[in-house]
Structure 1
Amino acid sequence: MTAKAEILIVDDEANTLASLSRAFRLAGHEATVCDNAVRALEIAKSKPFDLILSDVVMPGRDGLTLLEDLKTAGVQAPVVMMSGQAHIEMAVKATRLGALDFLEKPLSTDKLLLTVENALKLKRLETENRDLRSRVGKHEIVWKGEAMRRVMAQIDRVAASEARVCIYGETGTGKELAARTLHEKSPRKAGPFITLNCAAVPAELIESELFGHEKGSFTGAAQRHIGKFEQAHRGTLFLDEIGDMPLAMQAKLLRVLEEGEVERVGGDKSIPVDVRVIVATHRNLEDLVKEGKFRQDLFHRVYVFPLILPPLRTRREDIPVLLEHFAAQVCLQNGWKPVPFTAEAVEALQRYSWPGNVREMRNVVERLLLLAVAGEVDRATVELALPEAQTATSDTGSGPLSSRVAQYEREVILAELQRQKHHITNTAKALGLERSHLYKKCQALGIDLRAVRGTAPGAVR
């Protein structure tokens, strides 16, 4: 057998359950047994299986009714029906209801194991097709220069291991894309890739999102919810912006990473999970540890292999190929004819600071193509779509390198302040800085933020 499978066996005969589970376990699989359809439905909804094997004739709810209930509940596992009273009509009905196969009792062990192998192949193909469909029109890692070559080499090196990876990068640099690439290059690529943005989930709900909850465990818990860890079983869980996770939740996450099992909110049993965890943040976790905002023991658990994604402004040699990639993507999605970029337009875009990084570029390219006239994107189109580029691309003057860099930084900050309508917190986030660091940088560069307070009351917060 090429892979290990988790199988749910449903039959009202104890001898059948015992013999089938023994045969599967001897073949290296895991078997869960159940003697009625009602309980089987609950088990199938609470845990993912690779195959469900069910008898047709059972007291109470029969196997065909169970098959309908499984499909209605959205259970993805393939179902094989079996019966000692098989006839053509029964087999046809089972097939129409979505059964993968129909086996006649007494069962042949060789036939059973072949059925499991076929089910695993089918599930793998369906997963691959689903992933391909979900990725149509989405980003790929596109690069040309040395900075991203080093990043890709690191991804190739660490992907084959089970090491936890901490991805650092400003907003919009492609942290989720890097995590997905790690998953797709890993031995877990046939498993699920599940994501959770820790900054986007309210503190009171994040435990339920990660670990799940039982029906009635709190107000509004109308039914059982399977958490991200269980969803990611045998795959990868990507926790974005982990630096924003509440301290109380950090302690519970640490326990799961150490013990490899979760307990649903309102539950009374531990559930083993086999998950590779990849985390990402735009914040400096070491600084957060010093400030008491991030647990040091959790830091050492997740910070095994740091992967630092460079901001787009430091990889300008990649901008032409990214422009070509995004332009082709946008045109394909909208059914437009290809639109070229003039050399002057590319040069202007290369000189822009790209505070929103690659994510911003994708949106800007779509805007440029909508504004393009005469079948091309020229310098005038860039200035129309991106007025900030005129400020960011101004001459940094002459003199020592340090003074030129300071002048460039000053212009970038001023442009971003204008872009964010003088909102200091948003400006700091867009530039990948802590608010306190932005204040210090502005003080060093002679930018008077008191003037900002005067011109935009209420914007500084």
Structure 2
Amino acid sequence: MPLPTVLVADDDRSIRTVLSQALGRAGYQVRVTAHAATLWQWVEEGEGDLVITDVVMPDENGLDLIPRIKRARPDLRVVVMSAQSTLMTAVKATQRGAFEYLPKPFDLKELLSVVARALASPAGALAEPAPVDTDERMPLIGRSMVMQDIYRIIARLTTSDLTVMINGESGTGKELVARALHDYGRRRGGPFVAVNMAAIPRELIESELFGHERGAFTGATSRNPGRFEQAAGGTLFLDEIGDMPPEAQTRLLRVLQDGEFTTVGGRQPIRANVRIIAATHRDLRQAIRTGSFREDLFYRLNVVPIRLPPLRERAEDIPLLARHFLDRCREDGLPGKILDDGAVERLQASRWPGNVRELENLMRRLAALYPQETITADLIDSELAETLHEQGADTPDLREQEPLADAVARHIRHFLASGQDGMPLHDIYDRVIAEVERPLIQMTLAATRGNQIKAAAMLGLNRNTLRKKIRDLEIPVVRGAN
């Protein structure tokens, strides 16, 4: 039996060499090119069992080539890789029919696993994706490893109506994720209706969700449609689901089980034509143990869990986020500002209890209140002084906080849970080590104001070892620091 042939298109010679060698050692025949035109010629001639293509190439965008490949050879799997590691790249790759999307820099073991899965995938297993018009908006910002995983999950979920549970601290962007799932999903033509359970009086939640008939209760002078009816054909986003009272939980469970509901005071069943996305900052498993949340409802909602990390767990995204918010300030008519290296260092060293929302508010204050164009570390310190004081006064002793081992265990459970939803896992050991090692080195460098000699001593590392880790982990370093 002839060996499978993998067609590789990338304008970076080093990547072509690495992929050619790795795929060759894995037992595949490989053909490489730097041009989309050559790749298309091979596809038209019937060559290749799998395509691996970059996005940006000198003659054509790799994403634009995918629909032509799928029309010419529907069974030919396409794997997309790109240094443009954004949600939009992941969504476009998936919507145009890619088997998988891998952000650069990618892990060779993961790529080889994707290749094996793609070649083993039976012909016709993938449904034809619905075309979607995507623009270059950036609903989510970040290039960290954990955000790349979230982008890929969101992209995969745009082709289904699976129920999603988003968990994350306040200010991490849960509604942004919900809107992205709606805006790029199959129900994007319908309404997106958001309901915050914590903002509605408990006695009114059932009427708010399911509507009520005239005379159903005192003050009900006319029939009023609820949010389920308002969201028909679209998405219903139930924010802070952990604050839903028990009686409303029971009615919601029946909707999820039966696919229909009745209004308060009504008798005629109404079909629930919505996709449900729920979100919470609470630990619902703990709420189940205390009896405040139904276990059966949790499992109905938690079909696909998405955990949004707090900003302190993805400090490498802070410079990108801060500059994005400053750009948005300029678009809103506020003075343009830039961050110097010291300011970036201070931002990355902060704990950000308010997460991305707190960072955005800070950037807006700096843009509005200070005349100087360059934001310095002193300005950051000045604005954060009160917050830091409050954190220091209110933060419990380290011994009273969650043990590091427990925090890591919780994070690993998140990885394993994503794998149980059909999303393959690879190299968990390396990924967890990288996520722990990166903030450890970042925080140590921040504490020593970028002095690598002092940081190496604090970490118990050789200075050359520290430098290599900084380079390998792509950790930003303040210029001029020793």
Instruction: Write the deviation string for residues 370-396 of structure 1: whole angstroms up to 9, x where unpaired.
Output: 2323222111211221115766xxxxx
One-letter amino acid matched to 1:212: G
| CA displacement at 1:220 relative to structure 2 | 2.4
Percent identity over the alignment?
46
1:104 aligns to what?
Answer: none
1:292 aligns to what?
Answer: 291
Assess if the C-alpha contact under 8 Å between 2:237 and 2:277 holds in 1.
yes
User: Which blocks of at least 5 consecutive residues in structure 2 are unaligned?
Assistant: 1-132, 405-482
Distance, in Å, in 2 between the alignment partners of 1:215 and 1:270 is: 16
One-letter amino acid matched to 2:154: I
Three-state SS of the structure 2 residue aligned to 1:315 is helix
Work out whether 1:278 is the aligned partner of 2:277.
yes
2:213 aligns to what?
Answer: 214
Distance, in Å, in 1 between the alignment partners of 2:388 and 2:169 is: 23
Three-state SS of the structure 1 residue aligned to 2:237 is strand
2:152 aligns to what?
Answer: 153
Higher-Rg structure is 1
One-letter amino acid matched to 1:233: A
| CA displacement at 1:222 relative to structure 2 | 3.1
Residues 44-443 of structure 1 mapped to structure 2, 5 A cutoff? 140-333=139-332, 335-388=333-386, 415-416=390-391, 418=393, 441=400
- With over 3 angstroms needed to count, the CA separation of the structure-2 counterparts of 1:369 and 1:289, relative to structure 1, is same
Instruction: Write the deviation string for residues 7-52 of structure 1: whole angstroms up to 9, x where unpaired.
Output: xxxxxxxxxxxxxxxxxxxxxxxxxxxxxxxxxxxxxxxxxxxxxx
Distance, in Å, in 1 between the alignment partners of 2:214 and 2:312 is: 49
One-letter amino acid matched to 1:262: F
- Please say which of residues 147-156 and 285-294 is displaced more in the overlay: 285-294
- With over 3 angstroms needed to count, the CA separation of the structure-2 counterparts of 1:255 and 1:323, relative to structure 1, is same
One-letter amino acid matched to 2:283: N
- With over 3 angstroms needed to count, the CA separation of the structure-2 counterparts of 1:292 and 1:339, relative to structure 1, is same
Instruction: Write the deviation string for residues 204-263 of structure 1: whole angstroms up to 9, x where unpaired.
Output: 000011001122322222332211111111111111111111111111100111112221
Distance, in Å, in 2 between the alignment partners of 1:236 and 1:374 is: 44
Instruction: Write the deviation string for residues 77-116 of structure 1: whole angstroms up to 9, x where unpaired.
Output: xxxxxxxxxxxxxxxxxxxxxxxxxxxxxxxxxxxxxxxx
- RMSD value, Cα: 2.8
Normalising to structure 2: TM-score of the pair? Answer: 0.53
Assess if the C-alpha contact under 8 Å between 2:161 and 2:186 holds in 1.
no
1:106 aligns to what?
Answer: none
Normalising to structure 1: TM-score of the pair? Answer: 0.55
| CA displacement at 1:286 relative to structure 2 | 1.4
User: Which blocks of at least 5 consecutive residues in structure 1 are unaligned?
Assistant: 1-127, 392-414, 429-437, 446-461
Distance, in Å, in 2 between the alignment partners of 1:326 and 1:178 is: 18
Distance, in Å, in 1 between the alignment partners of 2:402 and 2:140 is: 37
- With over 3 angstroms needed to count, the CA separation of the structure-2 counterparts of 1:443 and 1:226, relative to structure 1, is closer
Distance, in Å, in 1 between the alignment partners of 2:187 and 2:276 is: 12
One-letter amino acid matched to 2:385: P
Assess if the C-alpha contact under 8 Å between 1:213 and 1:266 holds in 2.
yes
Assess if the C-alpha contact under 8 Å between 1:383 and 1:389 holds in 2.
no
Number of matched residues? 272
Instruction: Write the deviation string for residues 129-158 of structure 1: whole angstroms up to 9, x where unpaired.
Output: xxx9xxx9xx82111211101111111112
Distance, in Å, in 1 between the alignment partners of 2:337 and 2:346 is: 17
Distance, in Å, in 2 between the alignment partners of 1:224 and 1:345 is: 56
Assess if the C-alpha contact under 8 Å between 1:164 and 1:302 holds in 2.
yes
- Please say which of residues 158-167 and 313-322 is displaced more in the overlay: 158-167
Assess if the C-alpha contact under 8 Å between 1:198 and 1:242 holds in 2.
yes
